[in-house]
Structure 1
Amino acid sequence: MLAKPLLAVSNLTLRIGASGKTVVNDVGFSVSPGEIVGIVGESGSGKTLAARAIMGFVPPAVKLVSGSILFDGDEITTMAPKRLRAVRGSKVGMVFQEPMTSLNPSMMIGRQLEEGLALHRDLDAAGRRALILDMLRRVGLSDPEGALHAFPHQFSGGMRQRIMLASVMLLKPALLLADEPTTALDAVVQRDVMELMVDLTKENGTAVLLISHDLGMVARYCSRIVVMNQGDVVEQGAADDILARPQHPYTRKLLAAMPLRGQARELPEAKTPIVAVRDLVVDYPGRQRFFRKSAPKRALHGISLAVQPGEVVAVVGGSGSGKTTLGQSIAGLVKSSGGEILFNGKPIFKSEVAYWDYRLNCQMVFQDPYSSLDPRMSIGELVTEPLRLVPGMGAAEKKARVAEVLAEVGLGNGFAERFPHELSGGQRQRVAIARAVVRRPSFVIADEPVSALDVTVRAQVLELFAELQRKHGFSCLFISHDLGVVEQVADRVVVMQEGRIVEEGSRDQIFDDPKHAYTRKLLSAVPGLESSGDGGVRLFWRLAENETAHTPLS
């Protein structure tokens, strides 16, 4: 006899306003006690809204048109506000995508974790403190006592996500809603957070609804998958069946968008690298605290690397490994403390002419285009701006070049007059790429250019980037924590740990025969997906020794 579902959603329809756009249309799915169910889909598919409706967290403009949400036999949609507040946290918990926005920046961690216990549990202050300290130890904080008196900004992204998970699991909810809990985390931290979440939920018999666009992670942890597209559930079933034998064209499209390794490129030999870095050192100054200043922190310890003409060199590593600092230092955005940078064999700091030539030929694509694009400028103005210093280029030529580049990145027909807030995340990233290539630079630094994009938009942006690179021949330093993306785009891979290069080699050497223990740790952290034919994929581990250590949970 099948267990009664803990959560049963049926015929759920949500609409913007009384007669506006339907954003969730006749959605139905269930979650049984102790089960892990994944909801996947692109941005705008309605997966987050459907999950938030379970807790009554939909925005005021979104109205419930019809449907039922039964949690443990109780109807959520008609529940009185006071009763619903008692359910939130104590019986249904939610881990949000970005803990920095869901943790109060003005409150110490201990006080934030105590709030839920004070509201939902009959414990005195000493009992609450003991539970909080125990949970902080269990989520991997080395100094739980110190964490009680610290603020969210004093922790890394991975640590903040652990604290967010601790705050939810302290109350031992029967259902956990996890909305993109590892999107911005590197491979090792992502695995650690997910394994921690699974361990805590298994221990308490908690069911999990995992919302994600990371199909590899969903395949690894979920027993069933619900696929959503534009507010509709287009397919659902056992995870193995959905991945191996997708029935709906949209599911096939999602799986086809997963990054896959292609043939290694044959690059012509060059006598002189386009960019070379020798013994680069970057120190961040210490913080001033009352009457003394803390010691400076060394972010890069004598880094040396070279990028050949037309080559794509990927830099990978965990959070805090120094990869972004390396990119920004090479771009001239962070001042180095030692070492030198050479462009076409010439030191860029030896003369003003050499430095100017390098800065004009080196462009950067940032991780978050929304914060790097001026919201007051139109798209045309933003893409025109890098052409201001091109000698001898008139207004008509600039306008023609901007139109040509916008067409190359798929933003023709009126996009030049729009503003950044009028574009989607993928379109804004295309604008950021257009700004980088409009000058026809010889070297581009791309810092996590697709980390915030869903699978299909990511595939489109990567294909666009590769096409522009082939067409214009620029070299690229590609910084990423997504090993699947690196496997698709890179000619050579550099692995960084704690400000040092621990291993480098061709893409195939690094992925197929890693030598350094840290490289092996990175590659073993997350599974990959490979084509299984018939539009399906299958889960695999890049290192054979992990096939027994990590078995699918489905």
Structure 2
Amino acid sequence: MTTTAPLLDVAHLTLTIGTAGRRVVDDVSFQVFPGEIVGIVGESGSGKTLAARAVMGFVPPAVRLAGGSIRFEGRDVMAMSGKELRAMRGAKVGMVFQEPMTSLNPSMLIGRQLDEGLALHRGLDAPARRALILDMLERVGIRDPEGALDAYPHQFSGGMRQRIMLASVMLLKPALLLADEPTTALDAVVQRDVMELMVELTQANDTAVLLISHDLGMVARYCSRIVVMCRGEVVEQGTAEDILARPRHPYTRKLLAAMPQRLPARFLPQGETPIVAVRDLVVDYPGRQGFFRRSAPKRALHGISIAVQPGEVVAVVGGSGSGKTTLGQSIAGLVKPAGGEILFNGKPIAKSDTAYWDYRLNCQMVFQDPYSSLDPRMTIRQLVGEPLRLVEDMDASARQARIAEVLAEVGLSDGFAERFPHELSGGQRQRVAIARAIVRRPSFVIADEPVSALDVTVRAQVLALFDELQKKHGFSCLFISHDLGVVEQVADRVVVMQDGRIVEEGPRDAIFDAPRHPYTRKLLSAVPGLEATGDGGVRLFWRLGEGEATAPA
């Protein structure tokens, strides 16, 4: 810390909502000093994002300040006029949002969006602004800065969009950066790159960071202090070392206990016919149509071969664009392959074959975002019961009994049956998506990033539920994920993909403890893990070290 005076001082902040004055942020106090990185952690709905947005005056109109104060550089933010707030936002306090696609204007060129803040706050001429923008784009790792100026956000990957968002904020050299879940949707390598870039840029400008995240491993890696929030209140705060090693509050211990842990390897029978096998699968995406010609097609999968045994959970990991989701969608029949074949119970399937119908009924998929995959006009009962319409010899009473049985299996009471998806939390919607996938008792389930958008405790609940259902019903699973901690917990076997090819595969323990391929080693060394110490705390470790150290015993 460069001074004893805090850069940001939030004291007894209380925010209410609605006419009843329900407290969504209750008596919250914390400080951030210049050059410091402070993490705020907690479950969804804990109030951490709302408290951070209040620093910039970004609270929704229905939210009212009921008490407390927010002081930035000694000035009361709540007493600032609209003009003063606009002068502070961007120039003094910047914010990186969770999803850059929603914070970058899709109809504006990248160059124009980056130029806006400089033109508003710095008063530089156009050539000077352009030079600063090109330099910053180069610093954040954009390969073609000149070309990026004339591109739109949708032409970049998620990691590149987050780099551009970070560039737009850091161009103004703010004193405080608010980072709200900046790496949630990114794979392990890109996540590390974005965080290292953010730390590098903030250190160069002595910028303080308030990092809001449910990724405890990342918070432990980068933050000097941690603030733990639960239901709008701060239940514990202190140095990262003390909070992780010696948590005092039961809620903090609950969060730490919810971190994925490696379970003992299961014994599975060998030599049986695979439930699903893929041989030399090739998928091509058509090129983009221009004014006069179409660009060349892009090959997403290059001759992939994989087999899933009865009752086995095979995890597919890899960076964004590696082809893992395309592989899952191809097996599910949602993407048409350009070559190769898919076998179900040892028999090739084709749409003209009677085996294809049996395969499609026995292959179900759980998508990454349940809200977009559940029809908002249908009740939970209708959504879960829809697949049963294709079950022969099942009357209405039998269907209702099966729906009630499956909802109970996923931990939802009868009271949820008549609700709509928007009336459920993210974790509850994911439970509905799982119920919908297993209601026909399929033999094969594809789970595409099923817990990536969930906080730590809900993620632990969904993973425990998934494990229980998999053991009870015995379905095989292709589990697609970029979260290595989750994979380490659920997988029997791991397949590593890069650029549409399988670069390594093998038993989970062999992949995590003795990876052979350089890309696998790069993935495993990108993000730290948290290991339970046995006394309620955890310690930070690197699966291959922050270099090449060994995995924990």
TM-score between the two structures when normalised by the length of structure 1: 0.98
2:452 is aligned to 451
User: Given residue 75 of structure 2, which amino acid in structure 1 is its aligned partner?
Assistant: D
2:331 is aligned to 330
User: Given residue 192 of structure 1, which amino acid in structure 2 is its aligned partner?
Assistant: D
User: Quick one: distance in 1 between partners of 2:354 and 2:549?
Assistant: 58
For the pair 1:369 / 2:375, whether they are aligned, the reply is no
2:149 is aligned to 148
2:261 is aligned to 260
User: Quick one: distance in 1 between partners of 2:124 and 2:533?
Assistant: 53
1:552 is aligned to none
Q: CA offsets, 1:373-400, max 9 Å, x none?
A: 0000000000000111111111111100
TM-score between the two structures when normalised by the length of structure 2: 0.98
For the pair 1:481 / 2:471, whether they are aligned, the reply is no
5+ long unaligned stretches in structure 2: none
User: Quick one: distance in 2 between partners of 1:531 and 1:426?
Assistant: 24
Contact 2:25 2:50 survives alignment (8 Å): yes
For the pair 1:466 / 2:467, whether they are aligned, the reply is yes
5+ long unaligned stretches in structure 1: 550-554
1:204 is aligned to 205
1:309 is aligned to 310
Q: CA offsets, 1:80-114, max 9 Å, x none?
A: 11111100000000000000000000000000000
1:519 is aligned to 520
2:397 is aligned to 396
User: Given residue 175 of structure 1, which amino acid in structure 2 is its aligned partner?
Assistant: L
2:165 is aligned to 164
User: Quick one: distance in 1 between partners of 2:507 and 2:548?
Assistant: 24
- Write the mapping of 1:73-472 to structure 2, written as runs, cut at 5 A: 73-349=74-350, 351-472=352-473
User: Quick one: distance in 2 between partners of 1:76 and 1:547?
Assistant: 46
User: Quick one: distance in 2 between partners of 1:413 and 1:351?
Assistant: 41
Contact 2:543 2:549 survives alignment (8 Å): no
Helix, strand or coil for the counterpart of 1:104?
coil
Deviation at 1:335, TM superposition (A): 0.2
| Greater mean deviation of Cα atoms: 2-11 or 25-34 | 2-11
Contact 2:261 2:485 survives alignment (8 Å): yes
Report the aligned-residue RMSD.
1.1
Deviation at 1:532, TM superposition (A): 1.0
- Write the mapping of 1:28-43 to structure 2, written as runs, cut at 5 A: 28-43=29-44
User: Quick one: distance in 2 between partners of 1:61 and 1:475?
Assistant: 47
1:68 is aligned to 69
User: Quick one: distance in 2 between partners of 1:90 and 1:325?
Assistant: 42
Deviation at 1:18, TM superposition (A): 4.3
1:51 is aligned to 52
Deviation at 1:548, TM superposition (A): 8.0
Q: Equivalent pairs: percent with the same residue?
A: 82
User: Quick one: distance in 2 between partners of 1:34 and 1:22?
Assistant: 31
Helix, strand or coil for the counterpart of 2:417?
helix
User: Quick one: distance in 1 between partners of 2:169 and 2:546?
Assistant: 33
Q: CA offsets, 1:345-386, max 9 Å, x none?
A: 000117421100100000000000000000000000000001
Contact 1:8 1:29 survives alignment (8 Å): yes
Contact 1:18 1:63 survives alignment (8 Å): no
Q: How many residues align?
A: 549
1:499 is aligned to 500
Helix, strand or coil for the counterpart of 1:388?
helix
Contact 1:528 1:542 survives alignment (8 Å): yes
1:538 is aligned to 539
User: Quick one: distance in 2 between partners of 1:4 and 1:547?
Assistant: 40
Q: CA offsets, 1:455-475, max 9 Å, x none?
A: 000000000000000000000
User: Quick one: distance in 2 between partners of 1:151 and 1:122?
Assistant: 25
User: Quick one: distance in 1 between partners of 2:312 and 2:116?
Assistant: 53
Deviation at 1:192, TM superposition (A): 0.2
User: Quick one: distance in 2 between partners of 1:320 and 1:99?
Assistant: 18
Helix, strand or coil for the counterpart of 2:238?
strand
User: Quick one: distance in 2 between partners of 1:335 and 1:18?
Assistant: 53
Q: CA offsets, 1:221-259, max 9 Å, x none?
A: 000000000000000000000000000000000000000
User: Quick one: distance in 1 between partners of 2:114 and 2:455?
Assistant: 31
- When residues 240 and 122 of structure 1 are mapped into structure 2, their CA distance, relative to the original with a 3 A threshold, is same
Q: CA offsets, 1:33-84, max 9 Å, x none?
A: 0000000000000000000000000000111111111111111011111111
User: Quick one: distance in 2 between partners of 1:322 and 1:139?
Assistant: 25
User: Quick one: distance in 2 between partners of 1:490 and 1:450?
Assistant: 14
